[in-house]
Structures are given as structure tokens and as C-alpha cells.
Structure 1
Amino acid sequence: MASHLTQHTRTTTTFTTISKHKPLSTTPKSHMTIGVLAFQGSFNEHIAALRRIGVKGVEIRKPEQLENVAALIIPGGESTTMAKLAEFHNMFPPLREFVKTGKPVWGTCAGLIFLANKAFGQKAGGQELVGGLDCTVHRNFFGSQIQSFEAEVPVPLLADQEGGPGSFRCVFIRAPAILEVGPEVEVLAEVPVPSNSVFNTNLAAYNQEANLAPIDKVVVAVKQGNLLGTAFHPELTADSRWHSYFVKMVNDLEATSGSIVKADMNALQEPKIELPIYLP
């Protein structure tokens, strides 16, 4: 990969617009509603990103609210805190049922941990998982808050479907990484792990415990059926292509089931910039 994993300081307010989307077919004006789990974390940023592409996002805090949405985003945040709040509100059973319905679910950062079948590097006592993604996630692979960084990550499938650059500027904040994936999981993005980095120590520890051969990269974005997972935070950038990709997953479900109203994909034009990209 051309870019290196480098630390960053989140102090600048430089804005970037991605406008090179492929031509999109005309669809009916959207009545689609996408839920965003709103116990903690970056749920407001996801709702703002959906708004920029013409899709309504609503906060989800109660089980009955899941009945009124076409898809669900589980945002980034502090995964242990989110899990405790979800358990307090008895959300784990309905979240698992929602996954089983086949409606699209996207987990970002902490949300990715929620969707994984297995999590490594848990705190004492661990945390409850929703599951569904056939993968093993290292809960805090990329270190602490001060080790947060940004990297230009190749995303060939995303660029092929959504246009724009062949890479995506990924924001990693206390981020997890996917260390193993099952045979039905499609890998959408990977990053290298430099041999002299603290991340390599985490990787070596896992490889030894899991009895795996050494590897020099980790997976940071996957798709399996109706489930999408990213270890980074697309909602903290002005590049809406991951949100567009997710909305198209919902539209694809409509094409096969006829049960979901399509979104207005013509809204994917020059967006109104609301969120910054933080440069290193």
C-alpha cells in the first residue's frame, strides 16, 4: 500500500468533497428510513451523512423502533459502554432478530465488534455480541486514543461501484481489526501492519494464541450477505460513498423482496459539506 499508518492530531478543519460518482439510475423519491443505534457514539454523524445523500436516518433506542426501519447502522463509540446500555435496554435479542430478518446492518468500529461472531482482546468479563459476521475481531487492535490515525486505504470494489478515487481516507480511532474471516465473507479493504509497529505486537500475540502463520496485514472492511462491517469511521469524513454503498444494499433487497421502498439515488450529487476530514 502506498500510504503508511501514521498518527494524527484531530485539529484541522480541511474539507474534501467526493463528486465523481458514476451515473445513477432514476428511482422513486425516497421514503426509506434507516435506523441508527443511538445509545452512545457517532450516531448523529451517521444521520447527517445519510441526510446528505437524501435518506432519512432515525435514532433507535427501543426494540419496537426496529420495526419501522429498512436497515440499521450500529455506530462507532466505546463498545463496552454501548454493550452495557444495549443490555440494560434489552436490545440484544431484538438486534439479533433484526440481523436474521435479512435487512441490511452496518457496523462501524464498535459496531463492527458488535456484529462479529468472535472478539479477541476483550476486557475482563468480555461483552455481549450481536453476531452474524463470520469473523474474529481484535477489539482494540490499533491501540489507544492517542494512537488514532488516518490512512489512504485502497477500496477497489467501492470505487468500482460508487466512482471516485480508488482509495478512501479512513479514520481509525481506538479501532478494531479483523484477523480472521469465514469463507462467505467478502474482504473489501485491508491495511498493512509494519513489522516495527505496536500493532504488530498485537498481531503476533493473536497469531501465537490462535496458532496461525504470521501475516503482515489485517482486514478493515467486509461484507457478508446483508451485513457490512468497517473498522474505521466513514461518517467522520465528507466522502459519502460507504453510505451510498449501504443504501444500495437496501435497494438490492427491495429488488428481490419488493418490501422496501427504494431511495432516491439521484441525491448522490455534490453534497453539502457538514463534516470535516482531519488531515495528519
Structure 2
Amino acid sequence: MTEPSGGSSGAQAGAQSAAPRVGVLALQGDVREHLRALAACGAQTGPVRRPHELAEVDALVVPGGESTTISKLAIEFGLLDPIRERVAAGMPVYGSCAGMIMLATEVLDGRPDQRGFDGIEMTVRRNAFGRQVDSFEAAVPVKGVEGGPFHAVFIRAPWVESVGPGVEVLGEVADGPAAGRIVAVRQGNLVATSFHPELTGDPRLHRYFVDVVRDR
């Protein structure tokens, strides 16, 4: 794990020792971008590729990429069941794009053999916004994130078709053909977005998640 930089005073050292340990699932996707954003928000960070690395973290980020590939690699690397167990035990997890799909309890338009982490009680439609050429950007107000709408980048993104009673809707597309589609949710310690905050240089969503981890 890497630690946020700081001075040598006792107070600063204490703050560093209290920094949450947030891993990024490093099987595919925007791993480095998430690591940089989390470190900028005061977290200790590191890639997670093996069960022993998962055991060392307080929380996990599941990045974008290809959900079917992430599912397959999670099984091959022996991570699927350990992550599911940690999720069930209350570990905070943030999933972006494909990470949202991996956290859903039901996935539409996925592969029949695709398996996820079964964390958030929601139905997600894979590639709902279209193919790579249909990628777009939009302003999305996110509940609990101050500073105005988030500049959201959607790349072969899913959307949320429906949520269970325990799921809080944090954000919807405000206008255009996809207006009203749910693209950000939270259930307890689990957070998911359809879009990629790690690509914008805006740290607010990562800071929001690090605060969730600290509260936990």
C-alpha cells in the first residue's frame, strides 16, 4: 500500500496511520487513474489482484472495463468468492461503469455465465447507452456531492433499470434522449456510477467514497 504524502510531525504521522486502505481491483480497466484519484483524497492505495491483497484493504474500487472479462478474471484469480464474502460482511465498494455491473444483483444483456459480486439490489442493463461510438458526456447532479453537477463521461455505459427498496438513487441523466435514467446509486457502504469520474480530474466522487470508508 502507498501512503499519502505529508510532513514529519506527530499529528501528520497519526493522520497518515489513520488513512483508510482502499484497493483497486486490478484485473482490467482504469486502475492507475483510480489509484491516483484515491491517493489525492488521502487514502492509502494499492492494486488488488490476489486474495491476500484483498485481505489487506478496508475498501475496494471496481473500475470500468469489460464486465464479462472482469467476471472471468475474478474467477481465474480466485477473487470472486472472497470479494462476495467481503461485500456481504459490509466492506465498502465503489464500482464505476463495468464496476456498477459487477455490483448489481441482476444484469440484463450480459453473458449467461457472467457472475458478479451481488452487492446492490438493482437491475442494470449492460451497454445500455450503446457502443463505443455512442460514448458521450453530460452534467449529472449527484446527491451528497457538493459543488454543482458532475461532468460525467459515459463509455459503453450501463444504466439502472430498477432498484430495490434499500437503494438510494444518487444521480440521473438530466436531459437529452437518456433523461431520467439512473446512473448513480448507493446501498449502505456500496456506491456505483455508470460513468467514469477517474477520467475527469474531478476528485469529488472519490472523496465521497473515501468518506464512506472513513465512516465505516
- TM-score, normalised relative to structure 1: 0.69
Answering whether residue 191 of structure 2 is matched by residue 237 of structure 1, we say: no
Indicate conservation of the 8 Å contact 1:193/1:218, yes or no: no
Q: Which residue in the other structure is 1:209 paired with?
A: none
* Other structure's SS at 2:86 match: helix
Q: Which residue in the other structure is 1:29 paired with?
A: 15
Among 141, 157, 161, the residue aligned to 1:154: 141
Deviation of 1:91 (Å): 1.2
Answering whether residue 173 of structure 2 is matched by residue 191 of structure 1, we say: yes
Counterpart mapping for 1:20-169 below 5 A: 28-31=14-17, 32-123=20-111, 125-159=112-146, 164=147, 166-169=148-151
Could you tell me which runs of 5 or more consecutive residues in structure 1 were left unpaired when the two chains were aligned.
Answer: 1-25, 200-215, 254-280
CA distance in 1, matches of 2:202, 2:161: 26
Q: Which residue in the other structure is 1:13 paired with?
A: none
Q: Where does structure 1 differ by over 6 angstroms across 4 or more consecutive aligned residues?
A: none
CA distance in 1, matches of 2:13, 2:191: 23
Deviation of 1:126 (Å): 4.2
Answering whether residue 157 of structure 2 is matched by residue 175 of structure 1, we say: yes
Give a deviation string over 1:206-239, Cα, whole Å, max 9, x none: xxxxxxxxxx621100110111011100111111
Give a deviation string over 1:175-227, Cα, whole Å, max 9, x none: 00001001110110001575xx5x6xxxxxxxxxxxxxxxx621100110111
Indicate conservation of the 8 Å contact 2:61/2:93, yes or no: yes
Deviation of 1:27 (Å): 11
CA distance in 1, matches of 2:158, 2:23: 23
Give the fraction of aligned pairs with identical amino acids, expressed as a percent. Answer: 48
Which residue identity lines up with residue 161 of structure 2 in the other structure? L
CA distance in 1, matches of 2:14, 2:186: 26
* Other structure's SS at 1:117 match: strand
Give a deviation string over 1:100-131, Cα, whole Å, max 9, x none: 221211111101100000000114x3411111
Indicate conservation of the 8 Å contact 1:153/1:167, yes or no: yes
Deviation of 1:251 (Å): 1.1
CA distance in 1, matches of 2:82, 2:15: 29
* Other structure's SS at 1:152 match: strand
CA distance in 2, matches of 1:157, 1:249: 11
Deviation of 1:28 (Å): 4.5
Query: 1 or 2 for the larger relative contact order (CA 8 Å, sep ≥6)?
Result: 1
Q: Which residue in the other structure is 1:248 paired with?
A: 211
Could you tell me which runs of 5 or more consecutive residues in structure 2 were left unpaired when the two chains were aligned.
Answer: 1-11
- TM-score, normalised relative to structure 2: 0.89
Change (3 A) 1:126 1:142: farther
Change (3 A) 1:38 1:219: same
Deviation of 1:54 (Å): 2.4
Which residue identity lines up with residue 136 of structure 2 in the other structure? F
Deviation of 1:83 (Å): 1.1
CA distance in 1, matches of 2:211, 2:181: 26
Indicate conservation of the 8 Å contact 1:190/1:221, yes or no: yes
Indicate conservation of the 8 Å contact 2:22/2:61, yes or no: yes
Change (3 A) 1:156 1:86: closer
